[in-house]
Structure 1
Amino acid sequence: MKAQKALLQSGLLALSLIASSVMAAVSAGDAAKLGTTLTPVGAEKAGNADGSIPAWNGGLPTNAGASDDRGFLADPFANEKPLFTITAQNVEQYKDKLSPGQLAMFKRYPQTFRIPVYPSHRTATLPNGVLADIKANATTARLVQGGNGLENFKTAIPFPIPQNGLEVIWNHITRYRGGSAKRLVVQVTPQTNGSYSPVYLQDEFAFPSSLSDYDPGKQGNILFYFKQRVTAPSRLAGNVLLVHETLDQVKEPRLAWIYNAGQRRVRRAPQVSYDGPGTAADGLRTSDNLDMYNGAPDRYDWQLVGKQEMYIPYNAYALDSPKLKYDDIVKAGHINQDLTRYELHRVWHVTATLKSSERHIYAKRDFFIDEDTWQAAVIDHYDGRGQLWRVAEAHAQYYYDKQVPWYTVETLYDIISGRYLALGMKNQEKRAYEFGLKYSTADFTPAALRQAGVR
C-alpha cells in the first residue's frame, strides 16, 4: 500500500502543493476519461488486482428492490453473510486497511467493537442529467478566493478528477443529495452505560435545482438551504435552525438564524459554523461535524495524501431496517456493530491541518472519502495536543429508487470520554427520506421560521 500511495502522490497529485489561487480545470483529454477508464463521477472503473473490489458496472438499477409503505427500501444483499469479522484479537492482520481511529476503537472497546466485512458492491450512480453536469464541471469549474469558493459550477461534484486535497473536500461538500430532501430522524448522545434520551429532528434540504423561483442573478452564491426543526423532547420542541449555505463563504459567509420557541423570537446565529456547538448534541459534535463535514474550508491547510483501499461502512440497509427499534441499535460505547456492514473500497485520503492563524477545537482531521460517491466515510479528529480524540464513521446506503447516495447513520465516537453521538436513525419514524420535493425561496426565509416552530 505504501508503494501505491507513493505512486499516487507523484505526477498529477503533486499539484496539491500548488496554491489554490492558480488551480485550473482539467483538460478535455483528461475529462474524456470520465465514463471510459473512470466512472462518470471520477472513480477508477476497474476493480482491484485480486478482485476483492469489483469493477463498477453502472450501480444498482432503480428497481433493485421493493419499497414499503413508509418508503424504506429492501436490502438487495439480505442473504449475504460476512466474509470475516475483525475483532480486537485479529485486528493486527487487517490494520493496513483501517484508519488510526478505527484501530483505536478496538483498543477502547476490545470486548464489543467489531467490524463485519461483507463482499464489496459498487452500488452507486446518479441521474444522467447530473452526470452530464459533472462532466462539464471537469473542464470549467475552478476554485476561487483561495479555495474557499467555486465558479463555473453546476449541480454537484465540481472536480471529478481532483488535483489536490481541497478539490476532494469540495466534492464531498457539493455531492448530489437528490436536489431536495426531507427527513425525520433521531439523534442520540448515550451515557457511558448506554442510557439515552432521543432528540427528534425534522430536516429539510433544498438545492437551487429544486426551487420553483430560483434566480441565478439573486441566489447565484447559494449552495443549498437547510431548515432543521426539533420536534421532541418537549423542552426543545419548536426550536428551528435555518441556514443559507453559500458557495463562496469569503465573499458571503454562511447565513444562519434560530427561532427559539420559548422566547418566540428569531435571531441571527453566527455560532452555527466551524466548531460552534451542534444542535442538541450535549457537546459531542461541532456544527461542522454535521454531514460528517460541512462549511467553509478556510481554517485548514488541505493535503491530498493519496488513494488507498479501506474497510468502510457501506450498503447499510440492514441498519436502516424498519423492523429495528432504536434500543436495538444504541448500545454502551458504540452502536450495535452486529447490525453494521463494512466493505473494502477505494478511498481518497485527505489531511486537514489547522492554520497557525486560525482557531478550532480540532487541530487535525484525517478524511477518508469514498471514490464512488465522494461521501466522507471515516474521519479521525485530533485535539491541539495531537491526541486522537473523536472518530467519525458514516454508515451509508444508496437510495437506488431515487439514485441518491446518502447516510443512514452518522456516528461520532469520543474515545477519551467513552461517549458518542449517533445521528440519522429513522427506523421507528413514519417516513423514510423523501426526495424530489418542490420548494420556493419563501420556505427558507427568517420570516418562515415562526410558522415552522409551532409546537
Structure 2
Amino acid sequence: MKQQVFNLRNLTCAIFSTLAVTSFNTQAAVSEEEAHLLGNTLTPIGAEKAGNADGSIPSWEGGLTTVIEKGQNPFSDEKPLYVITNANKDQYKDLLSPGQIALFNKYSDTYSMPVYQSHRTAALPQKIYDKAKANALTATVKNGAAANFDEAVPFPIPKTGEEVVWNHLLRYRGGTASRDIMQAAVQSNGDYTPVKMSDEFIFPWYMKGGFDPKKDENILFYFKQQIKSPARLTGTTLLVHETLDQISQPRLAWIYNSGQRRVRRAPQVAYDGPGTAADGLRTSDNYDMFNGATDRYDWKLVGKKELLIPYNSFEFSSVKYDDLIQAGHVNPEHTRYEKHRVWVVEATLKEGERHIYAKRTLFVDEDTWQISVVDHYDGRGEIWRVAEAHALQYTSATVPWSAGEIIHDLQSGRYIAMGLTNEEKPVNFEFQASHKDYTPSALRRNAKR
C-alpha cells in the first residue's frame, strides 16, 4: 500500500509547481512502454541486465543474497586478474577516470589498482523494486527537487544528469541506520589522529508512529552525528533535518559545541562549508560523495561507460586501520577494483554562483545509483580532489552502500578516510527513533550524557 508521506508531499509539490509554472523547470516521467523494460531488459532499478560484449561484466542475476557476516569475504579465494601501476596505466586509460590517472601520476612509486573479476552483487528489497517501477511513471524534477515519487530511486530510467544525481541522493540505504565510524585526516607522511564518531539517519516513514504530515513535510531524512574521540572534540554533536526541496526550504542544521555547552544553528553545514573534523580536506557536500542542494551546478548527462571502480570491498572493510591507512593513499593490497558500467554526469558551476569546486565529474554505479568516483576541479580547471566510495553489499539488511569513502587531495598530498567501520561493531539497520529524538532540545540533552 502506497504510503501517505509522498501523497501529501506530492500534492504540495504539484500545487506549488502549478502556481510557479512560468518560473520553474519541470521534467516529465517516462512512458509506460519504457517503464516496461524494468525487470525485463533492465534490472528493477534501471541497470542493463545483460553483461557486456566480452563478458568482463557479467549479467545481473539478482545480486548477493547469501548473508555474509562482518569480517567475512565471499571472494577471499580470488586473485587479481591484473594489477595496474603507473608503468602500465596507459593500457587501461579508457577504463580510468582522469582523477584516477592523476593518482598514478602523483604516487607513481606506490599507487596501484588490483583488478578482480566483476561480481554484480547489488540487491535491494522487493518493495524498492516495486516502487522504482511505479516511480518511473510519475517522478519529476520540480524547482530543482525530485517530486511525485515513493521512497527511493525516483528515476530508474533517467533522462538528465540531475535525475541521475537525485537517484544517488534517494537511493536505498535501508530505512534507518546507526553505526560507529572512524574518520582519519591523513597527513602527507601518513600520520593521522583517529576521530571516532557515532552517526545515525532515519527516513520519516520509518519513524516510530510513522510519517507525521505536520513535522515531515519536505523532510528527506533526519541525521545525527556525535564525536566520541579525541577528547578535545568529544561530545560535539551535529543534528540535520535534510529537506527534499532545499531551494524553498534550506537544510536545517544545529551543532552542540561541547566547549561552549550550547546548541546553535549551523547554516554553514551546506555546499562548500567545512566538513566535521576534516582538517580542511572535504566540504559539507562531499559527505556521501555528494549531498544536499543541486542548484549551484548545471548537471550534464554525458552517458554511460565502463570504469574500474572500488567494489565488493569486503577485505577493505575488515583489516585494521593501521594496516589500511598509509602515506598518500590507502594500502592497495586491501583494495578491490572491478569493471562496472557507470553513468557519467558533469556538474559545472553556474555563472554567478560560488563554490570551491568549479567542476565535478560524477561516475555513478548503474546497479546501485551510488556515486563511485568523483573528480573535483578547481577554478583553474585542474583536478584537485579525487573521491572514491568503496562499495559493499550489506547482505544482512539487503542494502548496497559503502565500506568507506576516500577523498584524495592531489595538491597537498593528504587524504581523508571517512565512514570506516573496520574495528567497530556492525552497522545496525534496525535502528528505531521518534521525532522527539531529533529536536534541538534533544540534541542538548543527548550531548550532556
What's the TM-score once normalised by structure 1's chain length?
0.92
Tell me how many residue pairs correspond in the alignment. 426
Q: Secondary structure at the match of 1:409?
A: strand
The corresponding residue for 2:351 is: 356
> Which string of whole-angstrom CA distances, capped at 9 and with x for unpartnered residues, describes residues 36-93 of structure 1?
00000000000000000000000011x343x2xxxx1521111111000000010000
- Match among 210, 226, 230 for residue 227 of structure 2: 230
Instruction: After TM superposition, give the deviation of residue 150 of structure 1 in Å.
Output: 2.1
1:104 aligns to what SS in structure 2? helix
Q: Which runs of 5+ in 2 are unaligned?
A: 1-22
Q: Does 1:136 align with 2:134?
A: yes
Where 2:51 maps in the other structure, the secondary structure is: coil
Q: State how far apart, in whole Å, the 2-side matches of 1:261 and 1:154 are.
A: 38
Q: Which residue of 2 aligns with 1:439?
A: 433
Residue pairs, 1:31-46, within 5 angstroms: 31-46=35-50
Deviation, structure 1 residue 154: 0.9
Contact 1:313 1:393 in 2 (8 A): yes
In the aligned structure 2, how far is the partner of 1:20 from the partner of 1:94? Answer: 43
Match of 1:107 among 105, 108, 115: 105
Tell me which residue corresponds to 1:4.
none
Q: CA deviation at 1:134?
A: 1.1
Secondary structure of the corresponding residue to residue 172 of structure 1: helix
Report Cα offsets for 1:308-339 as digits up to 9, x if no partner: 00000000000111xx2211011000011110
How is 1:3-402 mapped onto 2 (pairs within 5 angstroms)?
Answer: 21-61=25-65, 63-65=66-68, 67=69, 72-145=70-143, 148-213=144-209, 214-321=211-318, 324-402=319-397
Secondary structure of 2:227's counterpart equals strand
Which has the larger displacement, 41-50 or 433-442? 433-442
Structure 1 unpaired stretches of 5+: 1-18
| Per-residue Cα deviation, 1:392-413 (whole angstroms, up to 9, x for no partner) | 0111100012110111010000
Conserved 8 A contact 1:64-1:76 = no
C-alpha offsets along residues 97-146 of structure 1, whole Å, 9 cap, x if unaligned?
Answer: 1000000000000111000000000001110111111111110111111x
Which has the higher mean CA deviation after the structures are superposed, 149-158 or 180-189?
149-158
Matches of 2:214 and 2:444, distance apart in 1: 28
Structure 1 counterpart SS, 2:186: coil
Matched-pair contact (CA < 8 Å) for 1:125–1:404? yes
- What is the distance in 2 between the residues matched to 1:93 and 1:419? 27
Question: Separation in 2 of the partners of 1:334 and 1:31?
Answer: 42
Instruction: Give me the whole-angstrom Cα distance separating, in 1, the residues matched to 2:62 and 2:255.
Output: 42
Match for 2:111: what amino acid? F
Q: Aligned partners of 1:117 and 1:313: how far apart in 2?
A: 9
* CA shift for structure 1 position 282: 0.4
1:377 counterpart SS class = strand
State the Cα distance separating 1:215 from its structure 2 match. Answer: 1.4
Superposed CA deviations along residues 362-393 of structure 1, whole A, max 9, x for unmatched, are 00000000000000000000011111100001
Specify the alignment match of 1:14 in structure 2: none
Q: Deviations over 1:228-262 (max 9, x none)?
A: 00000000000000010011111211000000111
Amino acid at match of 2:152: A
SS at match of 1:241: strand
CA distance 1:247–1:282, shift in 2 (3 Å): same
Runs in 1 of length 4+ with deviation above 4 angstroms?
A: none
- The C-alpha deviation readout for 1:187-215, integer Å capped at 9, x for no partner, is 10111110110101101010123201321
- C-alpha distance in 2 between matches for 1:135 and 1:355: 33
Say if 2:398 is the partner of 1:403: yes
**SS in structure 1 opposite 2:94?**
helix
CA RMSD in angstroms, aligned pairs only: 1.2
Distance 1:345 1:209 in 2: 32
Cα deviation for residue 22 of structure 1 reads 3.2
Task: Tell me if structure 1 keeps the 8 A contact 2:224–2:237.
Answer: yes
Secondary structure of the equivalent of 2:339? strand
**Distance (Å, rounded) in 2 between the aligned partners of 1:236 and 1:328:** 25
Q: Which residue number in structure 2 is paired with residue 8 of structure 1?
A: none
Given that 1:210 and 1:437 are in contact with CA atoms closer than 8 Å, whether structure 2 keeps it comes out as no
For the 8 Å contact 2:26–2:140, the answer to whether it is kept is: no
In 2, the alpha carbon distance for the partners of 1:151 and 1:413 equals: 34
Cα distance in structure 2, aligned partners of 1:216 and 1:35: 33
